[in-house]
Amino acid sequence: MVRPKRFVVVSDNHGDMVDEVSANALWQFLKDWKPEIRVHAGDAFDFRNLRKNNSEDERQASLEDDWMMGIDFLRKFFDGGKSNHFLRGNHDERIYDYSRNANGLMRDYANDGIRRLESVVKRCNAKMLPYDAREGVLELGKLRVIHGYHAGAGACRSHANIYSNCLFGHVHSIESASIASREPAEARSIGCLCRLDMEYARKHTGVLKWSNGWAYGLLFADGTYQLFQTRKIEGRFYYAKEVATFG
C-alpha cells in the first residue's frame, strides 16, 4: 500500500493581526506532523489600510508591519513543504484591486507590492491562486480547498452546494455542513489564526463564532482523504502526532 501523504490547511492569520499563541502552536505542530502538502487558504495579510470605507485609525496603521509579519508567516509555514500552495484571500486581493483600479502613486505602490508578494511566494516554492470563484480552487484529490466566497449562517451549506467536499477559511469559524446527494458532500470552515478581537468586527455578533484552528489530514493515492481539525481550547491546542490504522 502506498503511504498516504500528510497535509495541512491553514487560513486567515491577517498579517500583524496574527494570534501569537496560535502561530506558535502551528510551528510546533508542523515539526510534529511534518506535512509534505502545505496549503495557506488566504488572508495572509490584513491590508486594512486598503479596505473600502476604512476608518481613520485603519488608514493610519502601518502597512509595513502588516507586510513583514504576513511574509514572515508564509516563509515559516512553507519551509519544509514539498507541495506548497497559497490561495489569495479577499484581504490579500485588495492590493491586486488597487493595481487595476487606482491611479498614480497608489497604483505604483500596489504593483510594487504585487512583485514583492509574488517573489516571496516563488522563493517558498509555492503555487499561487487568485481570489476567484472559478480559478481560485485547489484540488487535493477528492477534496477542494478555497478561501471562501460566502459568509453568514449558511456559508458552509452554500460552499457545499457549489464546491462539494471542501475546506475554506474566510468566516473565521469552525463548523461544517453536508448536503444530501448520491456522493457525500461536506464543506468545513477551518477557523483562523488571527486575533479574535479585531476592531473592524467588534460590533458584529458573528465574531462570537470565531475560533482559532486549522485542518490537517492524510491524502491517499486514490484521492480519498482522512480529515482532522484542531482548535484552541482554553488557550491550548490539541492534535494527534500519529494515526493508528486497523484492518
Q: How confident is the model at residue 61 (pLDDT cuts 50, 70, 90)?
A: low
pLDDT for 51: 65
Q: Are strands 185-190 and 174-179 parallel, antiparallel or unpaired?
A: antiparallel
CATH no. for 5-52+60-237: 3.60.21.10
Mean pLDDT of 218-236: 97
36 and 67 Cβ atoms separated by less than 8 Å: no
Domain ranges of the chain: 5-52+60-237
* pLDDT > 90? residue 149: yes
* pTM of structure: 0.94
The mean pLDDT value of the chain amounts to: 92
- 53: its cell numbers: 470605507
* pLDDT > 90? residue 62: no
pLDDT for 104: 75
pLDDT for 53: 61
User: How many other CB atoms are found less than 10 A from the CB of residue 20?
Assistant: 9
Percent of the chain with pLDDT over 90: 76
Q: Which DSSP string do the residues of 63-77 spell out, in sequence order?
A: HHHHHHHHHHHHHHH
Q: How confident is the model at residue 9 (pLDDT cuts 50, 70, 90)?
A: very high
pLDDT for 113: 87
Residues 6+ apart with CB under 8 A from 117: 71, 92, 95
Render pLDDT for 175-224 as a digit per residue (tens, 0 to 9).
Answer: 999 998 888 899 999 999 999 998 877 778 888 999 999 999 999 999 99
pLDDT for 2: 84
Mean pLDDT of 34-40: 98
Render pLDDT for 92-136 as a digit per residue (tens, 0 to 9).
Answer: 999 999 888 877 777 888 888 899 999 999 999 999 999 999 999
